[in-house]
Amino acid sequence: VGIHQIHNNHAELKKQSMQEVRRSLPIFPYREDLLSAIEQHQILIIEGETGSGKTTQIPQYLFEEGYTRDDKKIGCTQPRRVAAMSVAARVAQEMSVKLGNEVGYSIRFEDCTSERTVLKYMTDGMLLREFLTEPDLASYSVIIIDEAHERTLHTDILFGLIKDIARFRADLKVLVASATLDTERFSRFFDDAPVFRIPGRRFPVDIFYTKAPEADYLEACVVSVLQIHVTQPTGDVLVFLTGQEEIEACCEMLQDRCRRLGSKIAELVILPIYANLPSDMQAKIFTPTPPGARKVVVATNIAETSLTIDGIIYVIDPGFCKQKSYNARTGMESLIVTPCSKASANQRAGRAGRVAAGKCFRLYTAWAFKHEMEETTVPEIQRTNLGNVVLLLKSLGINDLVHFDFMDPPPHETLVLALEQLYALGALNHLGELTKLGRRMAELPVDPMLSKMILASEQYKCSNEVLTIAAMLSVNNSIFYRPKDKVVHADNARMNFVVPGGDHLVLLNVYNQVHAGAFKSGYSTQWCYENFIQFRSMRRARDVRDQLEGLMDRIEVEVVSSQEDNVPIRKVTGYFYHTARLSKGGYKTVKHQQTVFVHPNSSLFEELPRWIIYHELVFTTKEFMRQVIEIESSWLLEVAPHYYKSKELEDNSNKKMPRKQGKTKEELG
Ligand code: CDP
Ligand code: MG
C-alpha cells in the first residue's frame, strides 16, 4: 500500500472512533425520541447534565435529519466566546469538515463562517445583532438557545424576541437547552412548552465542608490540592477560582510547593483555564493525564457548565465567583468577588461525578451553604448597564420597553438611565424615539458611547484616529502586560508610551507604534514582549479596527486623519457623557456629584487635570475612573449644549493641581 493509502486508513480509523465516542454520549439513546419531539413541537426545552452532548450533538442530529435543506441554517447560541469557538471546532472535527465551511462560528469582530455554513455556533450577542439585518431570522430553520440557565443579558433578550417571531414563523423550531436548572421557568415563559429530559449518567459525589470559615481561600485551595494528591487514589482535580489573577497565583503557588517537595510526591500537572488564555494553552486541559501523574485544572466558572473535562474525580470549591453589579443611580459598574449561588455550587460539585464516584471539597461551612448563599444567581439583566440593548431594541422598532416580554424585567431605574443616556447622546429624541443618528449608531457593534464618538469624529475630521481609539478601548485593559515579578520594568515600559493629554492618546500612540513599526517588520511578537505589550490584544485591536472601518461606508462617515493638534480628538474622544472635575480629595462627577478617583495605571495619575472625561467607572478597591482624557470645560458647551448648562461648568480655570501625596500602598498593587 502506498503512503496515501495508509494515510487514508488512518483518517478512516480516527473517524470511526470519533463516531464511537458520539454513540457513547448520554444523549445518543434519545436521538430518535428527541427528533420526534422536535418535529411535534415548535418550542422545546431540553434539559441535560453538562457533558451529555447537547451542544455538540443536537445540531448534528438536526443536520442528519434534513433540517438544513433549502439553504436553511441551524443556529446555536453560546454565552461565551470561548465555548462558541471550541464547540464549533469540535463539531467540525466530528463531521470531518474544515472549520468555517459547513460548520462555523461567529463572535463579535470575528466571523468564521461562509456561504456553505449550515451549522452556525455564535455568541448570543451576535444572534441579537442578526435581528437588525434579518428581523424574522428567515435563513434559519432551527434556533438553539444553549446554556440558557446562564441567563446572560443577551440570552434574556433573545428569549423575548424569539418567542415573538415564533408566533408568525410556524416553520421555525426553537430549542432552549439548559443544564439541570430552572427548566420549569423556561417552560412557563414559552407558553408551557414541553421539557425533554436527557437522563444523565451521574455517579454519587460526596460533599465535604470545612468546620470553620477559611480566612485565605487561595491558600486553602493549594493545601487541599496537595492533600488530595498525597492521600487520595488516582483521579484529576478541578479547582474553581474567580479570575485570571487568582488562577495564576494559585498555579504558581502549586508549582512552587511541588518543586520543594521534589521527588517525594508523584508528578502533578498544573493547568490554568480562563477566557483570555491563548487557545493553544486552553486546548491543553483536554489532553489525557500521563500514567502515574495527576492533573489539576484551575478554572473560572467557565468549567461549571460550558466546558467538560474528562477524568475529574475531585472538585475544590471555595464558593466564590466574580460578579458584575450595576448602580443605576450613578451608572457605575463593578466586578466584585461574591459568594456563588447554591445552584452554582451544585453544578461545580456535579463535575466530580461524571466518570466515577467523586468528592467535592467545599471550602466553607455547611451552615454558610444553607444560610448565606442565594438559591440562584441573579440574572445579568438585573445587574448591568442596558444602553446597548435598549438602542438595539429601539432600532428593531420596539418602542415600549416597559411592556417588552422579559422573563425577569430589569429594574426600572436601569431602564430609565439607559434611555437618558441615549437621549443625551442624541440617539433618541425627547419622545424616546430613535433618531437618524441613533439608527447609524446601532449599526456599529460597540457601546453607544463609542459609536457616538465615531460618528462625531466626522465633524471634527479625525475619524482615522478615533477609529483606532475605539478599537483599543474595545480590547480594554489587556493591552499592557504587567507580570507580578516584573512590575517595575512593566511600568517603566508603559511610561515610554505616555504622551500628553490622556490615556486615549496613549492608546493611539501604542497602536501606531506597534502597527507602523513592529507589525510591518517581522519582529512583532518580540517587540511587543520587550515593551510589555500583549501581542494578542494588539492583533485583536487591529481586527476590530478593520471591521469598524469596513462599516464606515454604511454609516457614511469618511475616514480622514486629523491635520491639527490633538484638540479635535480630545473633543470627540470618550465623548462628553462621563465628565468629572477635580475637587478636594479626588474628582466629582459633573452629573451625579459622585466622588471618584483616577486609576493608578492612568497616564494622568500624577497630573490630575481640572476637567476630565473618563471611559468607564469601576469599583475595585475604590471608585476608579479608567481611561481618562484631559479636556477644557468650555468644550462641553460646544459639543453638548443640550446636556450641559454653563452653571454646571463654572470655575473653568484650567490650572492643574499638583498631586500632593504619592501612591498609596494599595494603589501600587
Ligand atoms: O452541551 P453538553 O454539556 O451537554 O455536552 P457537549 O458540550 O456536547 O459535550 C459532549 C462531549 O463532547 C463531552 O464528553 C466532551 O468531553 C466532548 N467535547 C470535547 O471533547 N471537546 C469540545 N470542545 C467539546 C466537547
Ligand atoms: Mg453545552
Domain boundary (327, 352, 378) is at: 378
Ligand nearest to the CA of 86: 1
* Residue 200 beta carbon below 6 angstroms from any ligand 1 atom: no
* Residue 540 beta carbon below 6 angstroms from any ligand 1 atom: no
Task: Tell me if residue 596 falls in helix, strand or coil.
Answer: strand
How high is the pLDDT of residue 652? 46
Distance from the alpha carbon of residue 628 to the mean position of ligand 1, in angstroms:
43
* Residue 178 beta carbon below 6 angstroms from any ligand 1 atom: no
* Residue 631 beta carbon below 6 angstroms from any ligand 1 atom: no
Which residues in 562-638 belong to E strands, given as ranges? 579-583, 586-589, 595-598, 611-619, 623-630
In a domain, 271, yes or no: yes
| Predicted confidence band of residue 274 (pLDDT cuts 50, 70, 90) | confident
Ligand 1 atom closest to 309 (CA): 16
Domain boundary (198, 223, 245) is at: 198
Domain match, 482 and 553 both? yes
pLDDT of 52 strictly over 80: yes
In a domain, 659, yes or no: no
Give the three cell numbers for residue 130.
442578526
Task: Tell me if residue 382 falls in helix, strand or coil.
Answer: helix
In a domain, 341, yes or no: yes
User: What is the Cα–Cα distance from 130 to 106, expressed in whole angstroms?
Assistant: 11
How high is the pLDDT of residue 505? 95
- 161-208 pLDDT tens trace: 999 999 999 999 999 999 877 799 999 999 999 999 998 878 999 999
Give the three cell numbers for residue 61.
442530529
How many Cβ atoms sit within 10 Å of the Cβ of residue 30?
A: 21
Domain match, 235 and 372 both? yes
Please work out, in degrees rounded to the nearest 5, the angle formed at the alpha carbon of residue 452 by the alpha carbons of 450 and 456. 120
Which residue would you say has higher pLDDT here, 262 or 158? 158
Domain match, 391 and 309 both? no
pLDDT of 308 strictly over 90: no
Distance from the alpha carbon of residue 417 to the mean position of ligand 1, in angstroms:
40
Contact 432, 506 (CB under 8 A): no
* Residue 48 beta carbon below 6 angstroms from any ligand 1 atom: yes
- 562-595 pLDDT tens trace: 877 888 889 887 677 889 999 987 999 988 888 9
Ligand 1 atom closest to 27 (CA): 4
Domain match, 59 and 125 both? yes
Which residue would you say has higher pLDDT here, 616 or 371? 371
In a domain, 169, yes or no: yes
* Residue 386 beta carbon below 6 angstroms from any ligand 1 atom: no
In a domain, 666, yes or no: no
| Predicted confidence band of residue 477 (pLDDT cuts 50, 70, 90) | low
Burial of 12 (0-12, 13-18, 19+ CB in 10 A): exposed
* Residue 51 beta carbon below 6 angstroms from any ligand 1 atom: yes
| Predicted confidence band of residue 666 (pLDDT cuts 50, 70, 90) | very low
User: What is the Cα–Cα distance from 426 to 451, expressed in whole angstroms?
Assistant: 11
Domain match, 515 and 403 both? yes
Ligand 1 atom closest to 306 (CA): 3
Going from the C-alpha of 165 to that of each of 143, 170, 519, the distances in angstroms are 11, 9, 46
Pairing of strands 579-583, 611-619: antiparallel
In a domain, 409, yes or no: yes
Distance from the alpha carbon of residue 48 to the mean position of ligand 2, in angstroms:
9
What integer is the mean pLDDT of 459-474?
Answer: 93
How high is the pLDDT of residue 657? 52
Q: Which of 341, 343, 351 has the alpha carbon at shortest distance from 310?
A: 351
How many Cβ atoms sit within 10 Å of the Cβ of residue 532?
A: 20
Domain match, 401 and 476 both? yes
Ligand 1 atom closest to 310 (CA): 16
Domain match, 164 and 183 both? yes
* Residue 50 beta carbon below 6 angstroms from any ligand 1 atom: yes
pLDDT of 561 strictly over 50: yes
How high is the pLDDT of residue 6? 55
Q: Which of 65, 68, 56 has the alpha carbon at shortest distance from 38?
A: 65
Question: What are the residue ranges of helices labelled H in 314-462?
Answer: 342-350, 366-371, 387-395, 412-424, 436-442, 448-456
Distance from the alpha carbon of residue 269 to the mean position of ligand 2, in angstroms:
26
Burial of 162 (0-12, 13-18, 19+ CB in 10 A): buried
Cell 500500500 belongs to 1
- Residue 1, C-beta contacts closer than 8 angstroms, at least 6 positions apart: 9
How many Cβ atoms sit within 10 Å of the Cβ of residue 203?
A: 14
* Number of separate domains in the chain: 4
Ligand nearest to the CA of 147: 2
Distance from the alpha carbon of residue 81 to the mean position of ligand 1, in angstroms:
16
Which residue would you say has higher pLDDT here, 92 or 517? 92
Please choose from 45, 308, 312 the residue to mutate so as to test ligand 1's pocket, defined by most ligand atoms within 8 A of CB. Answer: 308
Distance from the alpha carbon of residue 669 to the mean position of ligand 2, in angstroms:
38
Task: Tell me if residue 221 falls in helix, strand or coil.
Answer: helix
pLDDT of 44 strictly over 90: yes
Q: Which of 66, 347, 45 has the alpha carbon at shortest distance from 183?
A: 45
* Residue 90 beta carbon below 6 angstroms from any ligand 1 atom: yes
How high is the pLDDT of residue 641? 84
* Residue 22 beta carbon below 6 angstroms from any ligand 1 atom: no
Please choose from 21, 46, 56 the residue to mutate so as to test ligand 1's pocket, defined by most ligand atoms within 8 A of CB. Answer: 56
Domain match, 533 and 419 both? yes
pLDDT of 311 strictly over 80: yes
Domain match, 90 and 178 both? yes
Write out the H or E segment, with its range, that includes residue 294: strand 294-299
pLDDT of 63 strictly over 60: yes
CATH code of residue 443 = 1.20.120.1080
CA count, 13 A, side-chain hemisphere, 626:
14
Q: Name the residue at shortest CA distance from atom 8 of ligand 1.
A: 53
Ligand nearest to the CA of 85: 1
Which residue would you say has higher pLDDT here, 273 or 36? 36
Going from the C-alpha of 487 to that of each of 273, 532, 663, 666, the distances in angstroms are 23, 10, 15, 14
* Residue 149 beta carbon below 6 angstroms from any ligand 1 atom: no
How high is the pLDDT of residue 549? 94
* Residue 310 beta carbon below 6 angstroms from any ligand 1 atom: yes
CATH code of residue 266 = 3.40.50.300
Ligand 1 atom closest to 48 (CA): 4
Task: Tell me if residue 476 falls in helix, strand or coil.
Answer: coil
pLDDT of 1 strictly over 80: no
Strand partners, 76: 121, 144
Q: Name the residue at shortest CA distance from atom 20 of ligand 1.
A: 90
* Residue 350 beta carbon below 6 angstroms from any ligand 1 atom: no
Dump the DSSP string for 429-472.
-TTS-B-HHHHHHHTSSS-HHHHHHHHHTTTTT-HHHHHHHHHH
In a domain, 668, yes or no: no
Contact 384, 418 (CB under 8 A): no
* Residue 25 beta carbon below 6 angstroms from any ligand 1 atom: yes
Domain boundary (198, 224, 242) is at: 198
Helix 31-40 and helix 54-64: axis angle, to 10°?
70
* Residue 52 beta carbon below 6 angstroms from any ligand 1 atom: yes
* Residue 93 beta carbon below 6 angstroms from any ligand 1 atom: no
* Residue 308 beta carbon below 6 angstroms from any ligand 1 atom: yes
Going from the C-alpha of 286 to that of each of 90, 245, 303, 551, 558, the distances in angstroms are 12, 22, 12, 38, 47
How high is the pLDDT of residue 562? 83
| Predicted confidence band of residue 480 (pLDDT cuts 50, 70, 90) | confident
| Predicted confidence band of residue 476 (pLDDT cuts 50, 70, 90) | low
Distance from the alpha carbon of residue 649 to the mean position of ligand 2, in angstroms:
52
User: What is the Cα–Cα distance from 212 to 449, expressed in whole angstroms?
Assistant: 47
Domain match, 351 and 490 both? no
- Residue 419, C-beta contacts closer than 8 angstroms, at least 6 positions apart: 390, 401, 428, 432
Distance from the alpha carbon of residue 406 to the mean position of ligand 1, in angstroms:
30
User: What is the Cα–Cα distance from 106 to 124, expressed in whole angstroms?
Assistant: 10
Mean pLDDT of the chain: 89
How many Cβ atoms sit within 10 Å of the Cβ of residue 1?
A: 8
* Residue 502 beta carbon below 6 angstroms from any ligand 1 atom: no
Distance from the alpha carbon of residue 253 to the mean position of ligand 1, in angstroms:
30
User: What is the Cα–Cα distance from 313 to 357, expressed in whole angstroms?
Assistant: 7
- 82-140 pLDDT tens trace: 889 989 999 999 999 999 999 999 998 889 999 999 999 999 999 999 999 999 999 99
Contact 128, 157 (CB under 8 A): yes
User: Nearest 10 degrees: CA dihedral of 118, 187, 29, 116?
Assistant: 0
Domain match, 618 and 515 both? no
Identify the domain containing residue 508 by its residue range.
386-570
| Predicted confidence band of residue 519 (pLDDT cuts 50, 70, 90) | low
How high is the pLDDT of residue 305? 82
Q: Name the residue at shortest CA distance from atom 14 of ligand 1.
A: 51
Contact 617, 335 (CB under 8 A): no
User: What is the Cα–Cα distance from 533 to 193, expressed in whole angstroms?
Assistant: 50
Domain match, 138 and 32 both? yes
In a domain, 479, yes or no: yes
* Residue 54 beta carbon below 6 angstroms from any ligand 1 atom: yes
**Strands of 205-209's sheet, edge to edge?**
205-209, 358-362, 312-317, 236-240, 294-299, 268-273
